[in-house]
Structure 1
Amino acid sequence: MTATGKVYLVGAGPGDPGLLTLKGQRVLASAEVVLYDRLVDRKILSHAPTTAEMIDVGKVLGEMGRTQSDINSTMIEHARKGKQVVRLQGGDPFVFGRGGEEAEDLRDAGVPFEVVPGVTSVVAVPAYAGIPLTHRRSSSSFTVVTGNEDPKKAESTLDWKVLAQLAGTLVVLMGWRNMPSIVETLVANGKSPQTPAALIMWGTEPWQIAVTGPLSNIVELGYEKGITSPVIAVIGDVAGLGETLQWFDNRPLFGKRALVTRTRAQAGKLSQRLEALGAIAVEAPTIEIQPLDDYTRFDSVVSRLTDYDWILFSSGNAVEAVFDRIDALNLDSRAFAGTQIACIGPDTSSNLRRHGITPDLIPDTAVAKSLLNAMTSLDIAGKNILIPKPDIGRDTLPTGLRAAGATITEVVSYRTVMPKNSKALVMDAISEGIDIAVFTSSSTVENLAKLLNDDLACLETAKIACIGPVTAATASELGLSVDIVATKYTIDGLVTAMEEHFVGGRDTR
């Protein structure tokens, strides 16, 4: 007989995937079945194993969807098959959610369950709009109600007269459709029309819109701003702090969709930096790093690294490729004994240092020409120099070193290919609009052009950001108008250049 599994009722938080709790992430990572709501961010869902069965149980206002009874039955059915089931709900499952009802059904069915609380939108959404629900000088309490019931209804479950007289903060969830009636009823029952109010749409998301103003015309202000559900309303003196304590939606890249074309494995750091500045990072890798089909020559070179006077690393990928083979050949860092190491810049240097190697030479700027100049300033005539490289690349460095009298060995250490699903990802990203296209190498630009059949007109309105002059030159050659070029040719330098571009007033779109 199959042992009964377990159901975890997990709160996914209000929207921002960074607000998922550590326990929620851990439980999701071991889920076999996930039942998730419509508003749960896809990045949160990505924490589930690729083998997990994903079931969309979202409900859309005015549309037919799964009933609560159906959702409960589905959880019970999978748990009885011995599965670990995660019921993933926006916010907190026990705050204006169906978590209590689901727990009751699970208990009645004899299915073990556990509740993993989530960050509730009640407090998180106002906080992301710069609104504290309580403040020592203006509000010592707050009341939370749902607004999906018209307050003018004959038998309302809420006493709006009492709510209108409360001195603290009133938070109304799910009330946009009835907001005109809610405002009218509150004013009719004594709430001052001048009471500060705020409407927050899609709170904690990069497309959040917040509107503040007096209660009497907050609805009209919302209409003017294009407010639609989902909306949280905050009514009370603290709502007036939203403009002075604004921190989330005034970041330099707020709401801008940034196309990230790096390899999927390397996109994370760049995406995180962009998102920290308010951008919506859209990852659509145009290159992918793949191992070699045949390691015979590469292994032969790696097994005798001490034959070389210098090893030059022009990318972090080359570093990882060499150390992967060092591991495969049961070698260690002693394989570099007596050999000097040069790398193209600080990012590549960081890769080396993670493996316990401190480079002997790093040029002032992270481009091949600077590395060439730094090397040729030394006495390299007759020196044996190894350059691990990709299967495609420029020959600036080896050609210049040979001209200086060095003996150069170039060895292909990895392949760069076009990801299989890259065209679909790029087309999806572009169909929703791109504000910034971010390129970290010439290959990312060239491959994007290939994916688009050299028709880059879809990026005419986007800002083009490049990691350095070489990448910028490639973009220009392909017909793109480059707007941003990093002065420090690293990921950090590229992000800083984008931030300065928008903060400096050169572009405020």
Structure 2
Amino acid sequence: MGEKGKVYLVGAGPGDPLLLTLRAKALLERCDVLVYDNLTNPEIRGWTREDCVHLNVGKTPGQHSFTQDEISEILISRAKENLLVVRLKGGDPFVFALCAEEMSALDHAGVKYEIVSGVTAALACAAYAGVPLSHREYGSSISFLTGHEDLKKESLRVDFAKFAEVGGTLCIYMGMSKLEEIVDRLLKGGLSPDKPAVVVSHGTLPKQRKVMCSLGELVTKTREDGLSAPAVIFIGNAVGLAKQVNWFEDRPLFGRRFVVTRSSAQNGEMKSRLQNMGADVLELPLIKILPTQNKKLVAEVFAGIATYEWAVFTSANGAREFLRIFFKAFKDIRSFGPMRIACVGEATASIFRAHNLEVELVPPTATAENLAQALVATDSLDSANVLVVSGNKNREVLVHLLESLGHAIVDQLPVYETDFAEVANSPDWQRYKKEGADGIIFTSSSTALSFVEQEEDLLLEQGARVPIHCSFGPETSKTLRENDLAVGLELKQPGIKEMIDALIEKFG
């Protein structure tokens, strides 16, 4: 899939990770060195191996961190170390991304390279903003221009008066810092001030915004609405067919921002579902899940695994870690023995069903109390050996009820440990402090306590959105209130789907 000692000039697309090509993703997962620009999505960069070297060579107007010659030298030197190098560029490498300069340098140095196309920003931003670029009655040509080049040079290349006659569409990249000059040149070139225009900022991302107006109003409207780079400017008759609301922006949580606080490995499903509803999602893992250190206890329990009549699982974390240890100890699923399985909720149960193991009991409401009551109601606990698989911070109420009401003989097996994660290590930490959010989602008392512990590091800057605290259930809410944090939303039935539905009801 990838070759050592070679440079891959890869298009990262416009921002949405789902628009990255399969070829690009495969190379990111294998590369030794990633050389990237500012406009590449951090989530995409997270697809690399843990030992991959990341080098940020992004340029900001007026503050270039690396010259183009220096960037080319990095690519050449790393490839000559027999490393697989990915040069990740926003959009498509061949559209205003200096790919030709890097190709020439690699050719001159005798370094092999390959081009991996990406979705260019103009096409994707137009699609995500519902802006047609062509129409057989309103415009049959499309021109790509850049606002970073010298404007006089560009005016010599493009006959704007002729363009006005043709009636095509202009797509202007990187033009926000010179918007007033660009508009002035276009008007002097013969375009009408009534020509339809659209600016799309942060296109294809949950924070996408746009301005629709005439060319003559473009500078004023863009300033009034506070649109900023990165942005693409569209001008032409076909652009005028765009509607104010489109498929991407017409989602129930579009424009809203939420913080997910579970460990990095657990955030995936909730983050994905929120994004599918249009939300902007920040990851601030407040806890981390670690394997248990009590290996002696694990060995003792697994030595007598066939003696238990019930195995009770209080979390998806416990289920995953238990099965990881199980398959390390046993090669055959039949070694699971005659144990009946009970799980606190459907998310936990689904982990066993994926291995074709029957889950006999899931309470209607996912709490320790309800799980205990449902087990007692089976009339199967009297003097029965029961294994409760949990973490190091689980409540004792489940074990107490099984022993006192069910008269069971209970062994506890904590297979994982929950610890606080340093929030300052989160990639979205600075953005949260600067921009805030509409809501912070607390899935457990552990996430709430970690938030309280690190509250000084999470103070918001002036002007940031102040979030409400969203709780998965009564115990989490109790922890929040005990620490003087108001609860803005509490689930009656814990679950990811239930949380998404509650957020849509409150914010949609």
TM-score, length-scaled by structure 1: 0.90
1:191-230: CA deviation from partner (whole Å, max 9, x where unpaired): 3322221011222233222100122212110010112333
1:116-140: CA deviation from partner (whole Å, max 9, x where unpaired): 0111002011112111222455433
In structure 2, distance between residues paired with 1:162 and 1:209: 31
In structure 2, distance between residues paired with 1:79 and 1:446: 47
In structure 1, distance between residues paired with 2:188 and 2:365: 68
SS of structure 2 residue aligned to 1:372 = helix
Q: Which runs of 5+ in 1 are unaligned?
A: 504-509
In structure 1, distance between residues paired with 2:487 and 2:363: 25
Please list, as runs of the form range in 1=range in 2, the aligned pairs for 1:269-280 lying within 5 A after superposition.
Answer: 269-280=269-280
Match of 1:484 in 2: 489
Please list, as runs of the form range in 1=range in 2, the aligned pairs for 1:32-181 lying within 5 A after superposition.
Answer: 32-136=32-136, 138-149=138-149, 151=151, 156-181=156-181
Counterpart code for 2:160: W
Counterpart code for 1:327: F
In structure 2, distance between residues paired with 1:70 and 1:136: 46
> Structure 1 residue 448 and structure 2 residue 451: aligned?
yes
1:305 and 1:336 in contact (8 A); partners too:
yes
1:282-308: CA deviation from partner (whole Å, max 9, x where unpaired): 222222222222322233223323322
Deviates more, 1:150-159 or 1:385-394: 150-159
Counterpart code for 2:391: P
Change (3 A) 1:453 1:198: closer
Counterpart code for 1:48: T
Change (3 A) 1:455 1:212: closer
Please list, as runs of the form range in 1=range in 2, the aligned pairs for 1:149-228 lying within 5 A after superposition.
Answer: 149=149, 151=151, 156-228=156-228
In structure 2, distance between residues paired with 1:454 and 1:143: 47
Q: CA deviation at 1:430?
A: 4.4
| Match of residue 439, structure 1, among 438, 442, 467 | 442
In structure 2, distance between residues paired with 1:335 and 1:241: 65
SS of structure 1 residue aligned to 2:176 = coil
Q: CA deviation at 1:409?
A: 1.4
Q: CA deviation at 1:83?
A: 2.0
Deviates more, 1:374-383 or 1:445-454: 445-454
Match of 1:233 in 2: 233
SS of structure 1 residue aligned to 2:60 = coil
Deviates more, 1:241-250 or 1:46-55: 241-250
Counterpart code for 2:449: E
In structure 2, distance between residues paired with 1:161 and 1:330: 77
1:381 and 1:404 in contact (8 A); partners too:
no
Match of 2:362 in 1: 362
Q: CA deviation at 1:179?
A: 2.7
Q: CA deviation at 1:255?
A: 4.0
Counterpart code for 2:433: S
> Structure 1 residue 502 and structure 2 residue 504: aligned?
no
Change (3 A) 1:165 1:370: same
In structure 2, distance between residues paired with 1:349 and 1:281: 27
> Structure 1 residue 475 and structure 2 residue 480: aligned?
yes
Counterpart code for 1:444: T
2:286 and 2:422 in contact (8 A); partners too:
no
> Structure 1 residue 422 and structure 2 residue 427: aligned?
no
In structure 2, distance between residues paired with 1:151 and 1:286: 49
1:14 and 1:204 in contact (8 A); partners too:
yes
In structure 1, distance between residues paired with 2:245 and 2:439: 28
In structure 2, distance between residues paired with 1:247 and 1:48: 31
In structure 1, distance between residues paired with 2:421 and 2:361: 37
Counterpart code for 2:386: I
SS of structure 1 residue aligned to 2:364 = coil
Match of 2:27 in 1: 27
Percent of residue pairs bearing the same amino acid type: 35
Q: Which runs of 5+ in 2 are unaligned?
A: none
Please list, as runs of the form range in 1=range in 2, the aligned pairs for 1:196-345 lying within 5 A after superposition.
Answer: 196-330=196-330, 332-345=332-345
Deviates more, 1:32-41 or 1:333-342: 333-342
Q: CA deviation at 1:189?
A: 4.2
In structure 1, distance between residues paired with 2:331 and 2:52: 38
Change (3 A) 1:196 1:329: same
In structure 2, distance between residues paired with 1:194 and 1:340: 73
In structure 2, distance between residues paired with 1:144 and 1:191: 16
2:318 and 2:416 in contact (8 A); partners too:
no
In structure 1, distance between residues paired with 2:217 and 2:65: 35
SS of structure 2 residue aligned to 1:418 = strand
1:151 and 1:160 in contact (8 A); partners too:
no
> Structure 1 residue 401 and structure 2 residue 406: aligned?
no
1:32 and 1:84 in contact (8 A); partners too:
yes
Change (3 A) 1:150 1:57: closer
SS of structure 2 residue aligned to 1:437 = strand
Match of 1:506 in 2: none
SS of structure 1 residue aligned to 2:156 = coil
1:411-435: CA deviation from partner (whole Å, max 9, x where unpaired): 2322323245335538646422233
1:449 and 1:455 in contact (8 A); partners too:
no
In structure 2, distance between residues paired with 1:141 and 1:264: 46
Aligned residues: 501
Change (3 A) 1:181 1:389: closer
**RMSD, matched Cα:** 2.7
In structure 2, distance between residues paired with 1:256 and 1:442: 25
SS of structure 1 residue aligned to 2:9 = strand
Counterpart code for 2:129: A
Q: CA deviation at 1:149?
A: 4.7
Match of 1:392 in 2: 393
SS of structure 2 residue aligned to 1:126 = helix
2:424 and 2:457 in contact (8 A); partners too:
no
1:144 and 1:172 in contact (8 A); partners too:
yes
2:383 and 2:409 in contact (8 A); partners too:
no
In structure 1, distance between residues paired with 2:36 and 2:465: 38
Q: CA deviation at 1:153?
A: 7.0
Deviates more, 1:41-50 or 1:252-261: 252-261
In structure 1, distance between residues paired with 2:286 and 2:138: 53
Change (3 A) 1:155 1:233: closer
Change (3 A) 1:317 1:228: closer
TM-score, length-scaled by structure 2: 0.91
